[in-house]
């Protein structure tokens, strides 16, 4: 039925589905997850193959435009993105004026689109390139603020993750500085693994906000806010705080009992879609070894491994089908790389920008896009008369 239906009794079926446990709000060609098998693919390509053979910008192109780029498409795309990594001086000043202890997730590329308020289709691709390119620079700049060090200009001749490491690294004031190739490759793989994950909380936020036809910078800002909560992209930060609190392997049984008594959450475990091991967490575990080899032993690894083993062997977790998700190991890698805890969600957000934009573009280009507007089931008071304040008790 077309048009607005104001008759609540004549809507046909209305699904009451709190937290969207069973609701598909879109049909999508971008990402597929088989939660029971622990399988993930983007545009038909299994995540394992992309993680091994692709790079972040190529995966971003695949997500956004639907196919792997040809050689020339790839060259143009990478050139364009890497030549849109510069941020305007006034934006740099805004980030530079942030307090040293403000959460780095409060700086995001939305600031760059300050003059836009409505989505303009004719510059969609330009905006996509700008947002991906600038997200890494904004992130790196927010890190430099915390270090009380000057910003480092991006290097368009470097790979995406390599350039981000270059801009962030405290010793990179030197022109000749080059990040460790093993670490740049590890971060590139992490970026591929985080690039998209279908209708997760932040992507749903992006698509929802974008459905009002606001500009994509503002929609990215909404998505970034959604990502940074501890039940979503902030979980990598929460995992480390949890492991630090547990402290020793001997304390694990007490912690597990507290989780089972619902007094604690086992961060980095569980997923709305996966009822099996998150395939990304297997790949991440291998990346972790490379990083630990390059950066030295990670002291929290023993507790993390023993905690994971204890949970996987416990019938309570088995019955609830709770397995490690992508965030269980990623935090340990970021810690080993020397990033401060509250920067971890930023390292998730930068690559996820690609997925946000892919879903936003798909929704905007749909044949008859509609504003997202869920309904509700009203359970408040029935109609009643206003009582003047003098007549109230
Ligand atoms: N620790 C303890 N109990 C858990 C956990 C956990 N990590 N995850 C789920 N449960 C329990 C729930 O309490 C619930 O128990 P019940 O059946 O007795 O009520 C049951 O398992 C089912 O879990 P739900 O919370 O209903 O699952 P939901 O799909 O709503 O939530 C979520 C998924 C938010 C990821 C949840 O598993 C969680 O809170 N995990 C910890 C945070 C985390 O790691 N988030 C990162 C997710 S991955 C990502 O965003 C990149």
Listing DSSP states for 84-145 in one string gives: T----HHHHHHHHTS-TTS-GGG--GGGGGTT--S--GGGHHHHHHHHHHHHHHHHHHHHHH
> When comparing pLDDT for 358 and 281, which is higher?
358
Question: Which one of 42, 119, 327, 359 is the catalytic residue?
Answer: 327
Res 368: pLDDT: 86
Minimum CA distance residue for ligand 1 atom 40:
270
The reply to whether ligand 1 has any atom less than 6 angstroms from the CB of 268 is yes
Q: What is the mean pLDDT of residues 205-224?
A: 93
- What confidence category does residue 91 fall into, taking pLDDT thresholds of 50, 70 and 90? confident
Helix (H) or strand (E) holding 295: helix 279-295
- What confidence category does residue 73 fall into, taking pLDDT thresholds of 50, 70 and 90? very high
Least confident of 75-79, 138-142, 191-195: 138-142
The reply to whether ligand 1 has any atom less than 6 angstroms from the CB of 179 is no
The reply to whether ligand 1 has any atom less than 6 angstroms from the CB of 272 is yes
Residue 260 pLDDT > 60:
yes
- What confidence category does residue 1 fall into, taking pLDDT thresholds of 50, 70 and 90? very low
The chain-wide mean pLDDT, for the chain, equals 90
Ligand 1 centroid–CA 263 distance in Å is: 13
Q: What is the mean pLDDT of residues 28-46?
A: 97
> When comparing pLDDT for 116 and 54, which is higher?
54
Residue 209 pLDDT > 70:
yes
- Whether the Cβ atoms of residue 152 and residue 140 lie closer than 8 Å to each other: yes
Residue 248 pLDDT > 90:
yes
The reply to whether ligand 1 has any atom less than 6 angstroms from the CB of 259 is yes
Q: What is the mean pLDDT of residues 116-123?
A: 75
**Closest ligand 1 atom to Cα of 265:** 1
Res 133: pLDDT: 95
Res 161: pLDDT: 97
The reply to whether ligand 1 has any atom less than 6 angstroms from the CB of 165 is no
User: Measured between alpha carbons, how far is 303 from 37 in angstroms, rounded to an integer?
Assistant: 27
What ipTM did this prediction achieve? 0.97
Res 114: pLDDT: 53
Residue 118 pLDDT > 80:
no
Which of the listed residues 22, 33, 47, 270 should we mutate to test ligand 1's pocket, taking the one with most ligand atoms within 8 A of CB?
270
Ligand 1 centroid–CA 34 distance in Å is: 18
- What confidence category does residue 149 fall into, taking pLDDT thresholds of 50, 70 and 90? confident
Least confident of 160-164, 166-170, 181-185, 304-308: 166-170
> When comparing pLDDT for 118 and 68, which is higher?
68
User: Measured between alpha carbons, how far is 290 from 286 in angstroms, rounded to an integer?
Assistant: 7
**Closest ligand 1 atom to Cα of 328:** 44
Percent with pLDDT over 90 in the chain:
68
The reply to whether ligand 1 has any atom less than 6 angstroms from the CB of 266 is yes
Question: Which one of 42, 197, 208, 271 is the catalytic residue?
Answer: 271
Q: HSE on the CB side for 63, CA within 13 Å?
A: 34
Active site residue 327: yes
Res 101: pLDDT: 78
> Which residues 6+ apart lie within 8 Å of 186 measured at CB?
287, 290, 291, 294, 333
Task: Write down the residue that tokens 């700008």 correspond to.
Answer: 130
């Amino acid at each position: 039925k077309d048009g607005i239906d104001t008759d609540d009794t004549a809507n046909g079926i209305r699904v009451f589905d709190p937290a969207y446990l069973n609701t598909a709000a879109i049909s999508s060609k971008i990402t597929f997850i088989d939660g029971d098998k622990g399988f993930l693919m983007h545009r038909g390509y299994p995540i394992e193959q992309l993680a091994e053979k692709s790079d972040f910008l190529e995966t971003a192109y695949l997500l956004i435009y639907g196919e792997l780029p040809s050689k020339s498409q790839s060259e143009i795309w990478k050139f364009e993105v890497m030549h849109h990594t510069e941020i305007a001086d006034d934006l740099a000043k805004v980030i530079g004026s942030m307090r040293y202890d403000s959460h780095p997730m409060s700086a995001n590329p939305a600031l760059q689109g300050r003059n836009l308020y409505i989505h303009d289709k004719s510059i969609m691709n330009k905006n996509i390139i700008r947002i991906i390119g600038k997200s890494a620079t904004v992130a790196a700049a927010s890190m430099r603020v915390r270090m009380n060090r000057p910003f480092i200009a991006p290097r368009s001749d470097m790979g995406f993750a390599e350039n981000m490491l270059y801009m962030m690294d405290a010793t990179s004031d030197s022109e000749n500085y080059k990040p460790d190739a093993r670490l740049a490759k590890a971060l590139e793989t992490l970026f591929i693994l985080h690039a998209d994950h279908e209708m997760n909380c932040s992507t749903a936020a992006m698509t929802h906000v974008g459905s009002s036809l606001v500009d994509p910078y503002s929609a990215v800002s909404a998505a970034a806010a959604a990502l940074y909560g501890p039940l979503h992209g902030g979980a990598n930060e929460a995992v480390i705080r949890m492991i630090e609190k547990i402290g020793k392997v001997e304390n694990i049984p007490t912690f597990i009992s507290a989780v089972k008594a619902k007094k604690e959450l086992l961060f980095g475990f569980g997923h709305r879609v996966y009822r099996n091991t998150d395939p990304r967490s297997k790949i991440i575990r291998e990346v972790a070894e490379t990083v630990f080899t390059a950066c030295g032993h990670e002291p929290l690894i023993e507790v993390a491994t023993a905690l994971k083993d204890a949970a996987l062997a416990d019938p309570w977790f088995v019955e609830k089908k709770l397995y490690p998700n992508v965030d269980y190991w990623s935090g340990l890698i970021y810690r080993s790389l020397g990033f401060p805890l509250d920067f971890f969600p930023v390292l998730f957000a930068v690559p996820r920008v690609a997925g946000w934009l892919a879903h936003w573009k798909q929704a905007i280009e749909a044949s008859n896009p509609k504003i997202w507007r869920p309904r509700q089931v009203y359970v408040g008071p029935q109609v009643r008369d206003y009582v003047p304040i003098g007549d109230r008790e």
